[in-house]
Amino acid sequence: METSRTALESSIVYKRLVEFFMMIAGLSVFAWDFFKNVFIPPYEFAEIKKHMDELGVKTLPIVSITGFIIGLVLAMQSYPVLVRFGAASFLPSTVALSVVRELGPVITALIFAGRVSSGIGAELGSMRVTEQIDAMEVSAINPFRFLVVTRILACTFILPLLTIYVIILAIIGGYLAMLTLQAMNFQLYIHSVVHAIEFTDLIPGIAKTVIFGFIVGLVGSYKGYYTTNGTVGVGKSSTSSVVVSSLLILLFDMVLVKLTILLWS
């Protein structure tokens, strides 16, 4: 009995691994198709702008609240530790560097993935199961260029802008925490933040959100574009889009952090 259970668990793990690597292969081919189509005219600038407006405006409230709370909580949690070591004056620098280098880009990307990737997966999935994509192909319209390329480009462009916005709100949230803890002057706080942040801190943190945005758009479009099994498949595409894009964001972040250390050290 124990042997059969172990064999069953091993087969399930093997099946999951095969599915995962097949999905990675499918995403790689899908990304290659994107790069083949992105430079071919006509360019759908109106569609890209429309998706950027939709994705940015609808994501703005949740990232606004999140960014403010990140800075506030980070400052409040770090203050007792820094006071213990007699380094309370370094709190503005700690908040700024933590938000700019890691917390701002990654948390914004994860929230963006949860809000946007699932929406793209559900939207394209619904178009697939209702045969709207097939109708576009019959009408001699390239659905990949019109539906997929525009959404991926919109995600790639809008996420860095949202990240900058979140970083600014997090720094403001950190100041409000400092105001309640130490009654720190705003000019002194901003001077400490600006003095702590260097070019090598800001550029890599913002630049990697371009890759994160591309991942969110790619995964959501891939899952939705190849949806099967009707409405049930739409739900699965929406859910798996969030899971896969969040996982890839964390994996790529680990690689990019190491690459940044090697390049800027």
- Domain membership flag for residue 217: yes
- 168-187 confidence digits (pLDDT tens): 999 999 999 888 888 788 88
Structural domains in the chain (count): 1
- Domain membership flag for residue 32: no
- pTM equals 0.90
- Domain membership flag for residue 149: yes
26-32 contacts: CB < 8 A, separation 24 or more? 26/222, 26/226, 27/218, 27/219, 27/222, 30/218, 30/221, 30/222, 30/225, 31/218
Name the residue range of residue 129's domain: 52-264
Respond yes or no on whether the N-terminal peptide bond of residue 160 is cis (omega within 30° of 0). no
- Domain membership flag for residue 260: yes
- Domain membership flag for residue 36: no
- Domain membership flag for residue 1: no
- Domain membership flag for residue 250: yes
- 108-150 confidence digits (pLDDT tens): 999 999 889 888 988 888 888 888 888 887 877 788 888 899 9
Express as a percent the part of the chain with pLDDT over 90: 32
- Domain membership flag for residue 227: yes
Who contacts 125 (Cβ-Cβ below 8 Å, separation ≥6)? Answer: 223, 224, 227, 233, 234, 237, 238
